[in-house]
Amino acid sequence: MAEHYTCDVLVVGSGPGGYVAAIRAGQLGLDTILVEDGRLGGTCLIRGCIPSKALIEAAEKFEQASINASGNSSIGLSADKPDLDFKKTIAWKDGITDKLSSGVAGLLKAAGVRIVSGWAVFENAKTCSVGDDKITATNVILATGSKSVELKGLPFSKEKDGPIISSTEALDLTSVPKKLAVIGAGYIGMELGIAYRKLGSEVTFIEAAKTILPGFDKQLSAPVSKWLRDHKVSIQTESFAKSVSTKDGKHTLFYTEKNGAEVKLVCDKVLVTVGRIPNTEGWGLENMAVDMDGAFVKVDDKCRTAMRGVYAIGDLVGEPMLAHKASAQGEMVAEIIAGKKRRFAPAAIPAVCFTDPEIISVGMTPSEAKDKGLDVVAGKFRWAANGRALTTGTADGGGFVRILALKTTGRIIGIQAVGRHVSELSGEFVLAIEMNATLEDMAGTIHAHPTLSEATMEAALSALGHPIHSV
């Protein structure tokens, strides 16, 4: 029997923006309904951030075991050659996502949020159909996320074991491809390509830009480039993938180099990672009278759309398309609906690339500061002078922490780092900028020894002109 539900808040999409918005709205006493067509957790939890990090961790352990078996361990370890049961690896990864998805369900239930399973289609700004049921809400939060971009000549394979895959399928393969072509050397392609190289694949990157990781400056990407060279990963920049042909079960990728020459590459899988676009089709957005900003839904600093009582958050509203941005916006919007005074104006949003080595960028880079005409001072501290970095392998292949501050006041406006296991430092970096910390604040804060975090303090000392452990 068809139902007609009413509620204070309707949230569409259960990714890190949507489920956080729903939980917070429920906590604030708002009658809340969450609509989700798939599993709770959205792209990040089910087919993105979390499963990719699980695969990266498994790949790291397999590589280390392989190094130990080869007799090349720098710390004297040796072992038998490891075997990889990849189906078991994927099952382990799925177990993690299952646990977290169940956890989200429990949190929503505890907050009193009603969950309606199905695809929402809006007939107007405040009413949608989900199958035979209807929902009418006083406030609507759109959190539909994004999807992988398809290339015109390389549409994703419809068949289950097809050659052309997105990051979603790359996380659900039943075997490690012997030869993997990755189209796009941005952070998604790099993370997955490096993981599969560690698992034994021969990997070739095809990138249209002049450099890998075009979103990061050359100093930050240089240690990653070194890892790729050391591990015999082929990088074809200023090159364009055109098509894939299949004959006798063999797949051939055709691409053109910068000189116009056409190249053929035989491979088992072609992973296309050329970006993501917001999910705006198929759910009646055109009936909601919201304004658009290019491909994105246009919002103000409270995530309000042009339609009163309709909000949009996360990947749907533009860059940076990051899970933690969506979560922050979701929490904020729920509080605004509940009557609190909030606006979305973060001093910085951290960006982390889980390559080997990892990259963190928070706030401005030196080139961005220069473009804005800011008078700045920078300090850098290399991992090679940090005791903990030497014992964990973080110092291998170079890497550093770099801090940027205004010359007049010393206020920190940007911190970047590259090195193994450095992603956990991102919290300190963004907190320093959010709290308007100065170089003196950072340099005067006693950091535990021996830890990687000491490098941030040392970089601040360097910017002040009196480094202790570097020259």
Residue 158 inside a domain? The answer is no
> Does an H or E element contain 462, and which?
helix 454-464
Which residue of the set 324, 421, 449, 469 is catalytic? 449
- E-strand ranges in 13-145 read 32-36, 114-117, 120-124, 127-130, 133-142
Divide the 471 residues of the chain into consecutive groups of 10 and give the mean pLDDT of each group: 93 97 98 96 92 95 88 79 93 96 97 97 97 97 96 90 94 95 97 97 97 94 96 96 91 93 95 96 96 97 98 97 97 98 97 96 96 97 96 91 98 97 96 98 97 97 93 70
Cβ neighbours of 461 (radius 10 Å): 21
**CATH for 385:** 3.30.390.30
Tell me what pLDDT residue 423 has: 96
Q: Which residue has the tokens 């303090």?
A: 457
Same domain, 322 and 357: no
Output Rg (C-alpha) for the chain, integer angstroms: 24
The CA distance from 9 to 356, in Å, is 42
Residue 136 inside a domain? The answer is yes
Same domain, 8 and 125: yes
Tell me what pLDDT residue 258 has: 87
Contact in structure between 115 and 40 (CB atoms under 8 Å) = yes
Q: Which residue has the tokens 């500061």?
A: 369
Residue 345 inside a domain? The answer is no
Q: Which of 410, 462, 417 is nearest to 436 (CA)?
A: 410
Contacts of 138 (CB under 8 A, 6+ apart): 7, 8, 9, 126, 309
DSSP 304: B
Can you give the pTM of this predicted structure?
0.94
Same domain, 13 and 27: yes
Residue 69 inside a domain? The answer is no
Residue 346 inside a domain? The answer is no
Same domain, 281 and 270: no
Domain that holds residue 331: 4-55+87-148+277-337
Tell me what pLDDT residue 249 has: 81
Same domain, 123 and 92: yes
Same domain, 8 and 144: yes
Same domain, 296 and 408: no
Same domain, 41 and 120: yes
Tell me what pLDDT residue 209 has: 95
- E-strand ranges in 239-340 read 240-247, 250-256, 262-267, 269-272, 276-278, 292-293, 296-297, 310-312
Same domain, 363 and 413: yes
Cβ neighbours of 102 (radius 10 Å): 13
Question: CA torsion sign, 107 to 113 to 118 to 123?
Answer: negative
* Residue where a domain stops, chosen among 259, 274, 289: 274
Q: Which of 406, 405, 323, 398 is nearest to 359 (CA)?
A: 398
**CATH for 188:** 3.50.50.60
Same domain, 254 and 301: no
- E-strand ranges in 13-62 read 32-36
Is residue 449 among the annotated active site residues? Answer: yes
The CA distance from 289 to 122, in Å, is 11
Same domain, 281 and 144: yes
Residue 77 inside a domain? The answer is no
Residue 205 inside a domain? The answer is yes
Q: Which of 400, 405, 389 is nearest to 443 (CA)?
A: 405
Count the domains in the chain: 3
Residue 65 inside a domain? The answer is no
Same domain, 249 and 176: yes
